[in-house]
Structure 1
Amino acid sequence: MFRLLLTLTIWAGHSLTCLSASLTIALTGDIMMGTTYPTPRLPRGDGKYLFRDTRDILRQADLAVGNLEGTLCDKGETRKEGKANNYAFRTPTSYAWWLKDAGYDFVSMANNHSFDFGIEGVISTEHALRQQGIAFAGIAGRSETAVVMRQGVRIGLCALGHNSYTVSHLDLKKVGKLLKQLRQQCDIIIVSFHGGAEGTAQSHVPNGMEGFLGERRGALRQLAHYCIDHGADVVYGHGPHVVRGIEVYKGRFIAYSLGNFCTPFGISLQGVSGYAPIVTVTIDHKGRFQKGRIYSFIQSYGAGPRKQDGKRFLVAHQMKALSETDFPHSDAWIDLRGNIGLIRYTRRSLTTI
C-alpha cells in the first residue's frame, strides 16, 4: 500500500507529494461473465459465485485491472450477424455490480468485442461501469485514457487494441502521444493492450508482427518496450486466450498475455485455455518493479476462476517456463510457487532479491 510521508497543497490546487513504500496492482486477463445473445448462457446464482475464489486477492490490491471482453447491455442486435468466425457477447448491465464486488477498479474496452452491439452497446457499457465507479479506457475519441487516485497518487491508465474503433497499438506515434500526455499529469502509468494471434498454439511471443484471421494483431515485444521507453511503468496484455511469459525490462514489469480470467461461456476453456491467473505486481513510488506473484486459478465451463486441488501452482509453472524460454535476458525470476523477484547482476556474481 502507498503511504504518504508528506503532502503540501499548492495554490493551483495540485499536490506536491513525497512518497514511500509501494503500490500493489492486481492484473487479470479477459472477462466475459455470461451472455444473453443469441440465447441466455448465464452462470449459477446470476453471477454471484463467479469471483468467489479470487475476490480477496483483487480487493487487497491498491488497484485491480482487467479486460472487459464484450458489452454490458440488455438489448439490441449484433452488427456481426451472419459473419464467419465471429461471436457476439451481451452481458446484462446488472453484472457490472459483480465487477465492483470482485474488486475491479479499471477495465479495458480496447478489444474486438466492445462494438458487438454497436455504439449503443458501447454507451450502455460505459454507463453501467460509471454507475459502479469503475474506470475504463480504450475507445478512440471517447475514452482514450483514465486517471485513478490512490492515497494522493495519480495513476494514469490507457488501453490499446488493434481494431479501428480502439486506440490502436499499431500506431506507435499515437501511443507515444498518449503516454506523453499521461506522464505530464500522473505519477504512475499503466498500459493495457489487446493483441496477438489466438489459440492454444500461441503461447510464445514471437518477434515481429502477429496476425490472425487476416488482421494485424501487433508486434508485441516492440510495443511493450516502446511503452516503457516512453514512460509506462506497468504493461499487461490479453487477446491470445492463453497465458504468455512475463518480463522485467528497464526495471518495469510486462505481462504479455494473462489469458482468459472469467469467461465461463462462449470461449474454449480446454487445457491451457482454462488457465486464469491473477498476477500481482508491487512497484515503488517511481514505478520500478519490486516483486510480484502469480496466483494459479483454473476455469471450467459455467464457472469463474477456481482454486483446484493438486493444481495450486500449475499456471505459475506454465508462465515460468514461457518466461524463461521467451525472455532469457529479463531481469525477473519466477520460482515454483509463482513468486516473482528481481535478478541483480554484479561483475562477479548473479544474485536474486
Structure 2
Amino acid sequence: MTASLDLIWQQARQGQAEAIADLMNRTLQAKGVRALVRRRGDCLQIMFEAARSLPPHACAAFVSRGLKQLAPQGILRVRLHARLVGEEWPEWTQTIDLRQTLLTTPLVQPRASTDHAPPVTASSPHAVNAFVLGVLAIAGSGTLALTLQNQLRVDAPPVAESSPAIAPVLIPPAPSDRRLRIKAVGDIVLGTNFPSNRLPADPQKLFAAVKPYLQGADLLFGNYEGTLTDYPHPFKNTSSGRSFAFRSPPSYAQVLRQAGFHVLNIANNHSYDFNEQGFRDTIRHINAAGMTAIGDFNQITYLEANGLKTAFIGFATYHGQNRIQDLKSSAALVQKAKQNADIVIVSFHGGAEGSDQIHTRDRREYFYGEDRGNVVQFARTMIDNGADLILGHGPHVPRALELYKGRLIAYSLGNFVGYQTLSSAGALGKSLILDVELDGSGRFIQGKVIPVRLDAKGVPHIDQNFASVQLIRRLTQIDFPNTPLNIGRLGEIFPTPSQS
C-alpha cells in the first residue's frame, strides 16, 4: 500500500467522509457504481449512483458489514440512498443503525492466490481493495458474496468451500438507543362512486409515481378521508354543493396496503359519510387488509416497530370522536398511552380548510361556522402530556412545522391523493411525504420534506421544483420564527443547536 493510500485508510477510520468515499469508489466505480458520501454529526449519508437500479438489501449489507469492520470514529448511523445516473431524486432511502448490526467472530480467511499473501484483518490496510466490504466471508456465506457480486456487480474474494458458517450474535440495543423512522402523508381519497362514478380505471396507478418514496420507513401513515363500504345510504345531504360524501369500494383497501401503508387515520369529517355502518365497514376493511385503522372513540393502538412499542391515537373535531377541543380528555388518553408505550404518535384532523388557510395561528379556527379547534393549543398540550410526534391534516394545504420541547409538530400535511374529488389548484396541489426519525424516547433527530405535487385529477407526483418545501420553509419562518428547526432548500430538517 502506498503512503497516500495508507493516509486515506487512516482518515477513513477517523470518520472522514471523503476518505470513506475514496475507498468505496476504488471498488465500485470499476463496476459502474459511484458512491457520494457526506457526514452530518454521527450520521454518514451515502448516495449510490448507477445506470441501473440497485437493490436496497444488497447495498445495506455491503455498507453495514464494511463499516462494522472499518469502525470509523463517531459514526453511529448510516443513511443510504440510491438513484439512477442523471436523476436528482433517489429511488429509495434506508437507515442503518450500526449499533444494531450483526456482530461476528473475526473474519474467515478467504482463499488466496498466493501462499505469501498477508492475512486480512479488521485493522489491516490490505482490506482496502474492496473497502473491507468485499471480504464477504464475514458471515461465512458464499451465497451472500455471490448475491452482492451479481446485484451490485462488486468483485468479492472467493470464499473457501470448507469455511464453516459463523453464527451471528444479535445484540439488541436498549430502547433509548433505538431509532424509529416514520413517513406520513395527508388526506387520501381514492375516488368515489357516490353520487356518480368518479373512480379511477386502474386504482393501482394512483400511487405509481410516488410509491418508491413511500418505502423504507418502519411505519407509513396516512389520513384516509372517506369510506370503504358498499352501504347505500349517505349521512349527508350533498345537494347544496358544499357538502361531500366519499365512498370507495372495499377492495380499495388492498390498493392502500400495496402502496405500503401501515397505519391509516379515519377520524375526520368524512368518517360517517355513510353513517355508522360505513364507518365500521371502513375500519374492518382496513384491518382485514393487514393495516391498522386508528381514530375510533377512546381508541389507543399499540404497534411494535424496530423494537419500540409505539402508540397511535386519532383525534378530530366532532362529538363521538376523540375531540381536539376537549383538552382534558385528550390529555388523559395521551397519558395512558405513554404509560404503556415508548413513543406516542398523535394524529389530528383540525383547522380551517382551503387555499387561503396556509397559516397556523394560536387561536380557534372555524370553517363555515363549524368549530375546527385551536390546533396549536391542542398539539402543544398533547406534547406536554407525553406525545412525541404530532401529525396534522384537514386544511388540505401544507402548513408550518414546529419543534416544541424536542418533539416535532406537522400542522398540516395537505392533500396527498384526491382523485377527481379534492381540488389541486394553487396551494391545494402542493403536497409532501414527511420523513421523520425519532430516538427511542420520541425526541426528534432529523427528517425530510419530500416534495409532491397533485396533477389536475388529484394524482400525486414527485415535484422537481420543490414548491412545497419552499412553502413550508416560508410558513415555518413566519408562523414559528423562534422554533429551533433548520429546513434546507432540498427539504432536510434538523434541530438547531439551541434546541432544549
TM-score if structure 2 supplies the norm length?
A: 0.64
Query: What is the rounded CA distance, in whole Å, between the counterparts of 1:249 and 1:82 in structure 2?
Result: 40
2:397 is the counterpart of 1:252: no
Aligned to 1:205: 360
Query: What is the rounded CA distance, in whole Å, between the counterparts of 2:336 and 2:312 in structure 1?
Result: 11
Shift of 1:307: 2.1
Aligned to 2:243: 86
For 1:319-338, list aligned pairs within 5 A: 319-338=472-491
Aligned to 2:252: 95
2:180 is the counterpart of 1:23: yes
Query: What is the rounded CA distance, in whole Å, between the counterparts of 2:331 and 2:376 in structure 1?
Result: 16
Output one character per residue of 1:81-135: Cα deviation in whole Å (capped at 9) or x when no partner: 2564210000111111111111111111110101000011011101111111211
Shift of 1:258: 0.6
Aligned to 2:342: 187
Question: What is the Cα-based RMSD across aligned positions, in Å?
Answer: 1.9
Query: Does the CA contact (< 8 Å) of 2:190 and 2:418 recur in 1?
Result: yes
Query: Does the CA contact (< 8 Å) of 2:178 and 2:308 recur in 1?
Result: no
Query: What is the rounded CA distance, in whole Å, between the counterparts of 2:360 and 2:404 in structure 1?
Result: 15
Shift of 1:65: 0.6
Query: What is the rounded CA distance, in whole Å, between the counterparts of 2:320 and 2:225 in structure 1?
Result: 14
Aligned to 2:467: 314
Output one character per residue of 1:27-46: Cα deviation in whole Å (capped at 9) or x when no partner: 1100111101011111231x
Shift of 1:331: 1.1
Q: 1 or 2 for the larger relative contact order (CA 8 Å, sep ≥6)?
A: 1
Query: What is the rounded CA distance, in whole Å, between the counterparts of 1:331 and 1:303 in structure 2?
Result: 34
SS at match of 2:345: strand
- The aligned amino acid for 2:215 is R
Shift of 1:276: 1.7
Q: Computing the radius of gyration over CA atoms, which structure comes out larger, 1 or 2?
A: 2
Query: Does the CA contact (< 8 Å) of 2:253 and 2:289 recur in 1?
Result: yes
Aligned to 1:49: 205
Overall identity of the aligned pairs, in %: 35
Query: What is the rounded CA distance, in whole Å, between the counterparts of 1:88 and 1:280 in structure 2?
Result: 30
2:227 is the counterpart of 1:74: no
SS at match of 1:328: coil
- The aligned amino acid for 1:307 is I
Output one character per residue of 1:217-272: Cα deviation in whole Å (capped at 9) or x when no partner: 01111111101111011001011111100011111000000110111222211011
Shift of 1:75: 3.3
Query: What is the rounded CA distance, in whole Å, between the counterparts of 1:2 and 1:153 in structure 2?
Result: 16
Query: What is the rounded CA distance, in whole Å, between the counterparts of 1:95 and 1:264 in structure 2?
Result: 13
2:263 is the counterpart of 1:106: yes
- The aligned amino acid for 1:164 is H
Aligned to 1:286: 441
Query: What is the rounded CA distance, in whole Å, between the counterparts of 1:81 and 1:212 in structure 2?
Result: 18
- The aligned amino acid for 1:60 is G
> Runs of 5+ in structure 2 lacking a partner?
1-94, 102-171
Query: Does the CA contact (< 8 Å) of 1:210 and 1:216 recur in 2?
Result: yes
Query: What is the rounded CA distance, in whole Å, between the counterparts of 1:275 and 1:83 in structure 2?
Result: 29
2:417 is the counterpart of 1:262: yes
Shift of 1:16: 11
- The aligned amino acid for 1:130 is N
Match of 1:125 among 272, 279, 282: 282
Identify which range, 113-122 or 261-270, moves more after superposition: 261-270
SS at match of 1:298: strand
Query: Does the CA contact (< 8 Å) of 2:423 and 2:458 recur in 1?
Result: no
Query: Does the CA contact (< 8 Å) of 1:291 and 1:342 recur in 2?
Result: yes
SS at match of 1:294: strand
Match of 2:494 among 325, 335, 341: 341
> Runs of 5+ in structure 1 lacking a partner?
7-14, 347-353
Task: Count residues with an aligned counterpart.
Answer: 333
- State the 4+ residue runs in structure 1 displaced beyond 3 angstroms: 1-6, 15-19
Aligned to 2:9: none
Name the one with the larger strand percent. 1
Match of 2:302 among 147, 155, 158: 147
Output one character per residue of 1:322-352: Cα deviation in whole Å (capped at 9) or x when no partner: 0111011111110111111111139xxxxxx
Name the one with the larger helix percent. 2
Query: What is the rounded CA distance, in whole Å, between the counterparts of 1:266 and 1:76 in structure 2?
Result: 19
Query: Does the CA contact (< 8 Å) of 2:421 and 2:458 recur in 1?
Result: no
Query: What is the rounded CA distance, in whole Å, between the counterparts of 2:175 and 2:425 in structure 1?
Result: 48
Query: Does the CA contact (< 8 Å) of 1:190 and 1:235 recur in 2?
Result: yes
Query: Does the CA contact (< 8 Å) of 2:315 and 2:323 recur in 1?
Result: yes
